[in-house]
Structure 1
């Protein structure tokens, strides 16, 4: 058990954005372009946030429900201030920078300051400068302070964030939400110890660490991959916060929907029984979701039947999971029957329901059936979502990707930052860095500003494909925009590009293995290179009608090996 825990922590700490779900090989876009013809004339409504997941999980009501400025009335003067902030980013003093902002003649207000901080959330220095400008003119309220704490925490500037919280406390402002933001940011920074410590020091700011804050802590830890720490803290705190179904459901959600670890999910299920905790509908929903994601059709249906026998009414998420696993396991007709059953029960399928069928169909390259589901989806007055387009993106090449991007723009659905993360990861996984670089140049056309995640994905992908110099160029560009150094990328860029040499060695070995058999019969010359090249397996080199092993084709092979001597 200890070994499994250690391995899981290593996996979490070395997570790579390149480790995306298995992507499909490219296909001609014409094979499915007709799928979207019926959708272009339908107006779309975008949600506040988009996700790469088709299954939404049951989570607590976030006390810090971040409202992006896109949902507010945009100030036309915002762009002027943004340009001014970027222009004064490298001035000698903060006072001089604030003076330049004052010279713009724009009056500060809380909404404007909030919008500026949000737009600059990836560059904490400029965001903090906008905050100080608003503070100078008394245009900073609690929401602005909380957003600034969130930005600083996201950039790991926790000391400055704590200074803001102390200032809020001295000004008799309510710091509860700001403290919860700190808990979430510590969890996101993979520092569960500091997140738990923040929970314990809430009382020093005259805030009671009540059950709501306790459950929020557990949820934040799980959402950011610290499920083991959340479970341990829940168990050691059972005297103050008795074990209940809601707490176990948070842990269950972590194993079922964050890690999708069936082994751990089953263990928590058994632990609930040992602690006399009765599973509720949410518990069954999480377990069915977990089994469906790993393609376990039998246990998904078994828990579905058990859920109904115990009096719990399966909700839409349960049926979405069943539709997904049935489609994934080549039971498409049965999935359609479940769809009809939902309608007969008065449970109307939503976009996630249809996406749950479209995704596995696209993964299985069954694009005709995916187009039919898309047609049904639009006929039922359900507009395609970002996830719908993402599903079709996985099966196309560069030209098809651009076509889908254009259709997303017409539908008012992006493409957004998540879309480019998905596409960049796909092309790097297919070892097509040239297409990834083409996609990178398209980001500006679609008004998507690269953030730190995009740069990290690009740099790591280029380095992994052997384009070390190009990776260094983009890493320097990343730092020039104020993004933090990434120790993993720095180490990757300092190391020699072993990947390229390994591929060359592989090509040499394949060339030697593929030499015609007749050459072996005409003249055989064996040469063991393991003594001179300890890093290489013993290889037999075969020559042809040569008095010396260093003539003819062997000489070319040895020349290639000589170039690879330093490995």
Structure 2
């Protein structure tokens, strides 16, 4: 059985971050491993757990005893089942031979914080006998992803007092990188300016901040930080210039035509500056420019640049090929895109789920369910193909919902659940919204209840769409049952639920 990373550890661009907060995050948690026992326990809990009965009933029934490793591996498989994971944790805590470890706490804290149950996450931290810096870094990332930047900075400040560990430069860089990744660059710059004297500021930290300014389209501020770095005697490297190049190319508007040409000219200036400093552009540098050609729908330029790379002896990566394939697919040249996938495989490069998603998005645009289903089956059956990602499943769910292919939709949904990588909040939101549009209210309600029982807090728009639809369809009794269910769950969601008060709706 092939296992994929459950912690979201990938970048959307071919650009490597200076430290990559996501990659750093992956090292904070144990990785999922092949374990038949963990598979069995997680399946028992997911399929047979009753929220109104004690957790130990189903576990004692199957005579399961836990080691620390088995507990951690089971919790990793329950990453999308926060309520069940929490119940399992409390059950493990009550055992005579307590299998809980620091990693068990970290996994559960990350699971709870992922669905914004921060009160419960903090409660667990305070219960820990041995609090480590890693635990706080996990929480910090989840707080920032939820937009709670002040709380994240306060949690960073609490590290030394609550753990007794002195905060290092790498952890400071992690905080700045995570803030920048989620677009809170001004907060990152403010933290940097206040605390830079406490840490050894190096090229990694400056590159993170340059990346942040580029991410929000403030290229002039990125250049200012580059000049400040050089002024301090810190030499930029190829990653720094790739970050700058990424800012020039990926954030720029390419329409009308003149803007595309201006973007390419600016990119060439960055290439020139790199060469003047004795830094050779690498595969990432070319991949960034190829991405611009893809966005601008320039298939011929994309193919020419790919050829130029090969002539220079630079081997394209999966991200490089994916940019060109995306361009070809968006221009309707699917046959050439398929040929390029074949070239990738011949060169020993396995296409990623993102590569296939280029095709699925084009099929979705064409409303070509047959083509999408054919490629999906190939991905699942061909061992050379990448397994579908959660994003792949969500694209397919939207397509088959739109086409009203009930059996295929059910098949894809079940495949996603069996794969262990989903469903997530987006999956449920896609299903509920699509079913509401089709006025399939009872099915929408079933997914809504399942979503809540699995610990996902519905978005307001989902909440309101279902509410209005049920009222307009004279299903007031169904709405009252749903509302009661939500009120029961308000204890689980704690303070996050208070924003979901509904005003009376008039038809």
Superposition TM-score tier, normalisation by shorter sequence:
0.7 to 0.9
Question: For 1:106-158, what per-residue CA distance to the aligned partner results, in whole angstroms no more than 9, with x for missing partners?
Answer: 22112211122122222222102222333323222222221111112112222
Aligned residue in 2 for 1:364: 331
Question: For 1:220-263, what per-residue CA distance to the aligned partner results, in whole angstroms no more than 9, with x for missing partners?
Answer: 2222333332222222333434765432321332344xxx543x
Root-mean-square deviation (CA, aligned residues, Å) is 3.5
1:55 pairs with 2:9: no
Change in Cα spacing, 1:319 to 1:45, as seen in structure 2 (3 Å) is farther
Aligned residue in 2 for 1:322: 289
Checking the alignment, whether the CA contact within 8 Å between 2:3 and 2:33 is kept in structure 1 is no
Question: For 1:315-355, what per-residue CA distance to the aligned partner results, in whole angstroms no more than 9, with x for missing partners?
Answer: 22111112333455465455445434434444322222211
Question: For 1:461-520, what per-residue CA distance to the aligned partner results, in whole angstroms no more than 9, with x for missing partners?
Answer: 5556777776445323422444334334223433469999xxxxxxxxxxxxxxxxxxxx
Paired with 2:326 and 2:377, the residues of 1 have a C-alpha distance of 20
Checking the alignment, whether the CA contact within 8 Å between 1:110 and 1:140 is kept in structure 2 is yes
Residues 315-464 of structure 1: matches in 2 within 5 Å?
315-329=282-296, 332-396=299-363, 397-412=368-383, 413-425=386-398, 432=402, 434=404, 438-439=408-409, 441-445=411-415, 447-448=418-419, 449-463=422-436
Change in Cα spacing, 1:75 to 1:393, as seen in structure 2 (3 Å) is same
In structure 2, runs of 5+ residues without a counterpart are 255-262, 474-505
Residues 4-153 of structure 1: matches in 2 within 5 Å?
48=5, 51=10, 53-60=12-19, 62-65=23-26, 71-76=32-37, 78-80=39-41, 82-84=43-45, 86-92=47-53, 96-98=54-56, 100-135=58-93, 136=95, 137-153=97-113
Checking the alignment, whether the CA contact within 8 Å between 2:55 and 2:88 is kept in structure 1 is no
Q: How many residues align?
A: 446
Paired with 2:398 and 2:210, the residues of 1 have a C-alpha distance of 29
Aligned residue in 1 for 2:499: none
Change in Cα spacing, 1:80 to 1:46, as seen in structure 2 (3 Å) is closer
Question: For 1:416-448, what per-residue CA distance to the aligned partner results, in whole angstroms no more than 9, with x for missing partners?
Answer: 3221223345678xxx36359953552214534
Correspondent of 2:271 among 292, 301, 304: 304
Question: For 1:383-416, what per-residue CA distance to the aligned partner results, in whole angstroms no more than 9, with x for missing partners?
Answer: 2221221111122221111111111112343223
Residues 470-489 of structure 1: matches in 2 within 5 Å?
471-489=444-462
1:494 pairs with 2:461: no
TM-score normalised by length of structure 1:
0.69
Change in Cα spacing, 1:187 to 1:330, as seen in structure 2 (3 Å) is closer
Paired with 1:494 and 1:482, the residues of 2 have a C-alpha distance of 20
Correspondent of 1:207 among 165, 177, 182: 165
Aligned residue in 1 for 2:222: 268
What displacement does 1:68 show?
8.2
Checking the alignment, whether the CA contact within 8 Å between 1:68 and 1:118 is kept in structure 2 is no
Structure of greater relative contact order (alpha carbons < 8 Å, 6+ residues apart): 1
Checking the alignment, whether the CA contact within 8 Å between 1:327 and 1:335 is kept in structure 2 is yes
Change in Cα spacing, 1:46 to 1:90, as seen in structure 2 (3 Å) is closer
Checking the alignment, whether the CA contact within 8 Å between 1:187 and 1:224 is kept in structure 2 is yes
Partner SS for 2:414 = coil
Paired with 1:182 and 1:395, the residues of 2 have a C-alpha distance of 37
Deviates more, 1:177-186 or 1:280-289: 280-289
Checking the alignment, whether the CA contact within 8 Å between 1:326 and 1:332 is kept in structure 2 is yes
What displacement does 1:365 show?
1.3
Partner SS for 2:137 = helix
Paired with 1:499 and 1:226, the residues of 2 have a C-alpha distance of 41
What displacement does 1:178 show?
0.7
1:157 pairs with 2:121: no
TM-score normalised by length of structure 2:
0.77
In structure 1, runs of 5+ residues without a counterpart are 1-43, 501-565
Change in Cα spacing, 1:45 to 1:440, as seen in structure 2 (3 Å) is closer
Paired with 2:46 and 2:321, the residues of 1 have a C-alpha distance of 44
Checking the alignment, whether the CA contact within 8 Å between 1:123 and 1:481 is kept in structure 2 is yes
What displacement does 1:357 show?
0.8
Paired with 1:345 and 1:291, the residues of 2 have a C-alpha distance of 23
1:180 pairs with 2:151: no
Paired with 2:11 and 2:327, the residues of 1 have a C-alpha distance of 14
Paired with 1:112 and 1:416, the residues of 2 have a C-alpha distance of 25
Partner SS for 2:156 = helix
Paired with 1:390 and 1:436, the residues of 2 have a C-alpha distance of 22
Structure having the higher helix fraction is 2
Checking the alignment, whether the CA contact within 8 Å between 2:322 and 2:354 is kept in structure 1 is yes
Aligned residue in 1 for 2:492: none
Bigger CA radius of gyration: 1
